[in-house]
Chains A and B, each alone.
Chain A
Amino acid sequence: MRRNQGCNSVEHLLARRQFFAGTGAAALATGLSQTAQAAPPVPTDPLMQSDLLKKSGKRILQIFLQGGVSQLESWDPKPGTKFGGPFRAIPTSVPGMHISELLPHTAQRMHHLSIVRSINSKINDHRKGMLYMEKGRPTGDFPYLGSVASKYLAGSDAALPGYIHISTRGLNDSTASFLGAQHAELKLQGVQPPSNLELPKDLDEELDAQRESLRRQFDAQFSRRRSNAQLDNYDAAFQQAALLMARKKIFEGGASEKDLARYGTHDFARYCLLARTLLENGATCVKVTHHGYDSHAENFNFHLEQLGEFDKTFAMLMDDLHDRGMLDDTLVLVCSEFGRTPKINTKYGRDHWGTAWSTVLGGCGVQPGAIIGSTNAEGTEVADREVDSGHLFHTYLRAVGLDTFADHDLPGRSIPIGDPAAEEIGELLS
């Protein structure tokens, strides 16, 4: 197994941060900060890595375009070709890089981001495609990206649960796998504060602490010589509840008029504003799901509408992360479970397509302004630098400093963090 390749080690990242500490936050995210420096070896024990990483303050913002965004109407436009559809390509803030005209605001922020245009994940099923993106493996029981981030990036004194997902649909996914319930996603139903954040009227904090302590005494006794995974899971939910109660002010007030004027007044805008607040207040990984990209019919109208919502909001969020000096420590991902067929079907729709599609990432030391790989002229196949969701998973986690060729160290077994059959996209990581 390969280890220690590339130079995106924890020490390197830390050194870089110290190096730029005096130069002002704005300079950090301009893409000039790609110093080449010989890196000492990464500690291969993930627990040791973790101690360093937790101090590094790295975060992840994950925006999931649910349903499968069309690469042709977003990151890999092919205007004027057989399958290209009606939309034009426009120049971006990166010379020579063009994206769909449906993303005019994002186009002006592409110097913070890079595009991967050559994904062949070979999966056309929504759930399986999503799981592959989240787990970095095509099958099997593994933790989601956010749960891995929670485990290795969030300190034990974290102010908020390590992995928070903002979405109003679906049930709770089982995300933590063998990492344990405290790293499972906390699902927020949109910007609604969780119910029951307030103590019952006749209890104060001291009395509440007393009854919590009693609860733990009962549980400690019951857990003796019993199977502990489910019991820990139950206790973790109480711990998450306590964190939320302590930080309930986050949910008060909602977004300001000024922010809404910039981001928009739709749900996705409000979710992104909440995501910004959560990241500022100590969340380690925040996932926002933007629904409605499964355009089997009327693909073009759908994308006009959906990306119209996405574009300005996302651009404003990028500006804010940048202006607040957070982009250097925040990995930003815009992902999807697959792309959409080049071939336009009889209902002006595009169907599921895992064969040749694109995604975007930036921040946290990811080489900005890059284009990785390409598809052929009609967009039907990957032409160059084929990667899959396993490569992306490695790339994301190496960007935040985790050695993905190290193992999750579990009682009695070791499980590689990333799929050993894949590797990071090295040229994206400096």
Chain B
Amino acid sequence: MFHYHTLWTLIAVSFSAVLSAPLNATPPLHEQIDALIEVQPGFDASAADPADDAMFLRRVYLDLGGCIPNATEVRAFLSDPSPEKRTQTIDALLASPQHATRMQYVLDELLMERRSGKHVAADEWRTFLRQSVLENKPWDALVRELLSADGSQPETRPAAKFLLDRELQRDEVTRDLGRIFLGRDLQCAQCHDHPTVDDYLQRHYFGLTAFITRSYLFKDPKTGVTSIGEKAKGDVKFTSVFTSETAGTAPRMLNLPPLADPPAEKELYKVKLEKNVRGVPVYSRREQLAIAMTDDANQAFRENIANRMWALMMGRGLVEPLDMMHAQNPATHPQVLELLADSLLQHDYDLRDLLRELALTRTYQRSSQAVENRTIESQSLEDRTGDVTAEDDHHYSVGRLKPLSPEQLAWSMMQATGVIDVELAETDSDATPIDDAVQKHIETFAKVFGAAGQSTQFDAAADQALFLRNGNLIHSWLTVKNGLVASLQKLDDPQLAEELYLRVFSRMPNEQESSRVADFLNSSSDRPRAIQQLTWASLVSTEFRFNH
């Protein structure tokens, strides 16, 4: 497989060469993005400074590696004088096994909404996703596998999870094909053309249904294993509850032309469907689904994943909600969305390449803290709910706060408290599955902090706060042998503050922060206890809870 990151590293290294290239040469994607973002009226007045090194490092570690950096990595980065260090870090992270783990979680959340195993075990699925990211399988290739695999052979079982674990329920699969791969929640169009969204038509819904309506779950009577069979016939009809008109449709991708079945051959089946025999037709509509979904003509397919990758990095989709893409809900920056989607097409749906370009933008690398004492001309003072305004948010002129996903939060807390070093002491190769104990902790976090599906919405809840305040797990991490609290106990005040801030906040404390830590410790009669309280408070603070 061709490795784009080597190529891009070369380009980045010879940056000045690019600048001096002929004017008609296309600038790299990240520059094109920044140009479109920064051209907005009033942008300059409100644009935040570039994130400082520490802020950048934490952010990019979380987004691309799924976990905060450790103290050694922070120190090394802060003292590295190289002007290329940000690009180098992005490339190193994208090439690392941690990136595969990070994307495994992202893709599981997107595709299976963290379901546990029904027909395909969760660990087989995780391994499949992880392996797919490690080999940088293009998005279209991955989706083709998911939609065409029938699960009859051991090697295709993980890929068949998408359909198998939804029990091939017609309506559930139809809705999820629309939401997850096309960015359109067509649920309302099941019963009628959408009353308020002109773009969502009943034939879109049933056009997707028509691809899968012939497929069914087949349980092998001998092995008890469930796989997917398909009939050679079967069409969908639908009736509008509004107009009572009945219509039918061939398989189709939204407004793209419907796909007529080929003229019927004499023999309809490769393996004839019988009782206890899984049917395999000569012409498979489900195979057509995999092809039509990922076809270059299907603009919605690449706009959806472009929007989701943007949301992953920037904290909000260009279209929000992520599964409501339609004409009446346009992108905040339509040209950016088009640019990203085109780039995916040109680069064979290489998500790693897209993430790299997004990470290289000034837009991504902007501070989450608004500039001090700025004047905002376009708004009255009353219009400002906080120090960062809704307009800043809309313009991407200030870096957006992103709540850590449950997996990021669990990994990062284990990293900060030193639990991860204990648990993962012997894990060093790409192929090693995640340690059982770590996996269990992550699942606990997913249960408490998880929501279904990729979303940019943040809803903190009381049970989460109770878990952080009183839960045994967090408490045990504060008292773990050789952990953070234990090592802080051995340090004097100035070193203690530095170590705490480096390990928890991934940055150096400023003078005021150091002296506040010292004041607190000195005012306490029970120093070991006070260190524990200080550590707890930093771990549950907003600075830790958000990627900023």
Contacts and interface: CB of A to CB of B under 8 A. Distances in A.
Interface of A: 124-125, 128, 139, 161, 171-172, 174, 181, 184, 186-187, 194-200, 207-208, 210-212, 214-215, 217-219, 221-231, 233-238, 240-241, 244-245, 411-412
A157 B458 CA distance: 26
6 contacts: A172-B459, A174-B457, A195-B466, A229-B385, A229-B386, A245-B470
Interface stretch (B276-284, B288-296, B397-405): B397-405
A214 to B, nearest CB: 4
Q: Interface range on chain B: under 10, 10 to 19, 20 to 34, or 35 or more? A: 35 or more
Interface in B503-548: 513, 516, 520, 529, 533-534, 536-538, 540-543, 545-546, 548
A230 B46 CA distance: 20
Contacts of B187: 125
B455 to A, nearest CB: 10
A170 B462 CA distance: 16
B383 A411 contact: yes
Contacts of B458: 230, 233-234
- Residue among A217, A227, A241, A412 having the largest count of chain B Cβ atoms under 10 Å: A227
Contact of A225 (B372, B464, B471): B372
B497 to A, nearest CB: 13
B207 to A, nearest CB: 20
Contacts of A244: 462, 466
B538 to A, nearest CB: 6
B387 A224 contact: yes
Interface of B: 187-188, 191, 196, 241, 368-372, 379-380, 382-388, 392-393, 398, 400-401, 403, 451-452, 457-467, 469-472, 475, 513, 516, 520, 529, 533-534, 536-538, 540-543, 545-546, 548
A245 B465 CA distance: 11
A233 B385 contact: no
Nearest to B478: A200
Given A186-B462, A214-B534, A241-B469, A171 B542 contact: no
A227 B534 contact: no
B474 to A, nearest CB: 9
Nearest to A234: B460
Contacts of A227: 368, 386-388, 392-393, 398, 400-401
Please provide the 5 A-B residue pairs with the shortest distance between their CB atoms, ordered closest to farther. Answer: A228-B386, A214-B537, A412-B383, A237-B460, A241-B465
A127 to B, nearest CB: 8
A214 B467 contact: no
A223 B461 contact: no
A211 B388 contact: no
A18 B368 CA distance: 53
Contacts of A212: 537
A186 B465 CA distance: 12
B188 A226 contact: no
- Residue among B382, B452, B466, B542 having the largest count of chain A Cβ atoms under 10 Å: B542
Given A195-B466, A196-B467, A230-B403, A181 B369 contact: no
Given A237-B461, A412-B380, 13 more contacts: A161-B462, A171-B452, A172-B451, A200-B475, A218-B537, A219-B543, A222-B542, A226-B387, A227-B368, A227-B393, A234-B460, A234-B545, A244-B466
Contacts of B392: 227
Contacts of B368: 226-227
A207 B542 contact: no
A369 to B, nearest CB: 36
Contacts of B398: 227
Contact of A226 (B191, B472, B548): B548
Contact of B388 (A171, A225, A233, A241): A225
Nearest to B479: A202
Contacts of B403: 230
A215 B464 CA distance: 15
B62 to A, nearest CB: 16
B250 to A, nearest CB: 26
Nearest to A181: B460
A219 B465 contact: no
B385 A411 contact: yes
A195 B470 CA distance: 9
A198 B470 contact: yes
A211 B459 contact: no
Given A233-B459, A412-B382, A211 B537 contact: yes
A241 B471 CA distance: 12
Nearest to A125: B188
Contact of B387 (A186, A197, A228, A411): A228
A226 B380 CA distance: 18
A118 B451 CA distance: 37
Given A174-B459, A233-B460, A196 B469 contact: yes
B548 A195 contact: no
A139 B516 CA distance: 49
A207 B385 contact: no
A124 B400 contact: no
A241 B462 contact: yes
Contact of A171 (B379, B393, B451): B451
B529 A207 contact: yes
A199 B191 CA distance: 51
A218 B462 contact: no
A187 B469 contact: no
A240 B451 contact: no
Contacts of B241: 124
A207 B548 CA distance: 30
